[in-house]
Each structure stands twice: as structure tokens, then as C-alpha cells.
Homo-oligomer: A and B are copies of this chain.
Amino acid sequence: MAPEIQRKLTTILAADAEGYSRAMATDEPGTIADLRASRSVFSRLIERHAGRIANTAGDGLISEFSSVVEAVQCAVEVQSELQGRSDAALRFRIGIHLGDVIVDGADLLGDGVNLAARLQTMAKPGGILISARSMIRCTAS
């Protein structure tokens, strides 16, 4: 009697901040303020690109887009805006992957999400890492 698993193909954008725990240990109010300001930039630009935030946990964020192009444009704009802020101490890594996910209420689970998160860990702080599969879709469109 396994519960039904609902799948879909979507573009996942995973983001996480470099040195978040260290920053929080050093300057908690400043890091909270920075995190909130960064989340607000993510929210605004994800919405502008017709994406949706599926989950946030600490400095981590999982979002999805119906188009790889929109996800990539969103990521570029987020990094550009965050890097333009003189007060921003947190630098985010972003991973983008087009993959199969499992819908879990408003949240997303599955290997596709984990792959996006793994790409994110390999991105440079302030940078974006896009899976080859997503790139093919991006350049083909």
C-alpha cells in the first residue's frame, strides 16, 4: 500500500550560501538581515521568471521553473543583483538541473532535486553551475 507518487519534469534551481554557519556564528543579526535581504531578491526574481519557491531551509532554497531559459536568466539576475549590493556578506552558489522530480505537497523530492543540490555545492560562490542536460535544452530553445 505505497502512497501514490506524482512525478513531473521540471527545471530545479537550488541555491545555498557559502560560509553561512560561520557567518551566523560570527555575526548573527547581520547574517539574518543579509539572509532576509537575499531571500527577498530570490523571491522577486523567481516570481518575475514565472518560477516558484518549493522549499527554504536556513540558507538553502529549492525552486522550480517551467523553462530552463527562465531559470538560467533568473540565476544570472540574482547573482548580478546580489553582487551589486555593497552590504551583501553572503555569497550564494546556484545549481540548475532539468530533471524528474516527485511532488510532495508544495515541496519537491527525488533524484532530480538532489542532483540540482549537488551541482550547487560544486558551483563557485557567486556562480552558477548548469547540468549538461539543461544546457542542451537551453541552447536548443
Contact = CB atoms under 8 A, between A and B. Distances in A.
Interface residues on A, range: 20 to 34
A115 to B, nearest CB: 8
Given A57-B57, A102-B28, A118-B21, A33 B110 contact: no
Contact of A60 (B33, B36, B57, B113): B57
A60 to B, nearest CB: 6
22 contacts: A2-B29, A2-B33, A3-B33, A21-B111, A21-B117, A21-B118, A24-B109, A24-B111, A24-B114, A28-B102, A28-B110, A28-B111, A32-B102, A32-B109, A32-B110, A35-B109, A57-B57, A57-B60, A57-B62, A58-B109, A58-B113, A58-B114
